[in-house]
Amino acid sequence: EILSAIAAQFSAGPMSGKRVLVTSGPTHEPIDPVRYIANRSSGAQGAALAVALRDLGAEVIFVTGPASVPPPAGVAVHRIETAREMLAAVEAALPVDAAIFAAAVADWRVENSLTQKIKKVAQTSPSITLSENPDILATVCAHPERPKLVIGFAAETENVVPHATAKRLRKGCDWIVANDVSPATGIMGGSNNTVHLITEAGAEDWPPLPKSEVAQRLAARIAEALA
């Protein structure tokens, strides 16, 4: 009886029985043992999404880079550092019903990264050669086990909706959640977010909302799409 009560509780939400993958946070790409290239991302929006999906009853797999916001309770946490590690963790999590790629993945890694610290030599500066990281969103969209619903994020500093609309088609995903992360907006590291939801039907402009509320709205839409 206790067990069935717990089971009932767990199956109460509209997403019970659904398995959802959420990526979050930045990736770190090593230059040498003490230096790395990173993306600005607190992981706050990804963590809020995981909470909202969990609260609707979904089983959440949370693949996170080194974020400043801790991962929520009640989700399966997989910690990674680089983009290649994130891709491996994402592929290992398939199949899922929906995948939401909220992480700020580095587009490039350092090709000539070193296992010893680069020493400073007078009058010379090392040059960093970059090579392209795997495209996790595009890879999952073209995957034999492609989830029914694939959602990408687009952080832009100019022409937000046109860039995000083009990204949706280029990647082959269902929706793009786009936002303007220009320094002046204060979105990076802030608690609010102003997003545009790009779907096949076009662009919806959402009002400025707390990240938790953006997450709840998006989770409700995901539940609807998977119902």
Binding mask 134-153 for its own copies (x = CB under 8 A): --------------------
Q: Does 36 bind its own copies (CB under 8 A)?
A: yes
Which member of 76, 77, 94, 130 binds its own copies (CB under 8 A)?
Answer: 130
Residue 159 falls in the annotated catalytic set? no
Q: Does 158 bind its own copies (CB under 8 A)?
A: yes
Helix, coil or strand: residue 14: coil
Q: Does 162 bind its own copies (CB under 8 A)?
A: no
The interface region with its own copies, picked from 29-37, 44-52, 56-64, 200-208 by CB under 8 A, is 29-37
Specify the residue for token string 């989700």: 75
Q: Find all residues with CB under 8 Å of 67, minimum gap 6, and list them.
A: 24, 25, 26, 41, 42, 43, 44, 46, 47
Q: Find all residues with CB under 8 Å of 77, minimum gap 6, and list them.
A: 62, 64, 71
The interface region with its own copies, picked from 3-11, 38-46, 87-95, 145-153 by CB under 8 A, is 38-46
Taking the C-alpha atoms of residue 82 and residue 79, their distance in angstroms, rounded to an integer, is: 10
Number of residues assigned to the chain: 227
Query: What letter would DSSP give residue 120?
Result: P
The interface region with its own copies, picked from 52-60, 87-95, 99-107, 208-216 by CB under 8 A, is 99-107
Q: Strands 209-210 and 202-205, how do they pair?
A: unpaired
Asked if the bond preceding 14 is cis, omega within 30° of 0, the reply is no
Residue 146, number of CB atoms within 10 A of its CB: 18
Comparison of 129 and 191: residue with beta carbon closer to its own copies: 129
Which member of 80, 106, 150, 151 binds its own copies (CB under 8 A)?
Answer: 106
Rounded (5°) CA angle 122-123-126:
95
CB of 135 to its own copies, least distance (A): 8
Which member of 88, 108, 225, 226 binds its own copies (CB under 8 A)?
Answer: 108
Residues forming the active site: 39
Site residues, its own copies (CB under 8 A) = 28, 31, 33-40, 68, 104, 106-108, 115-120, 125-132, 155-158, 163, 181-183, 188
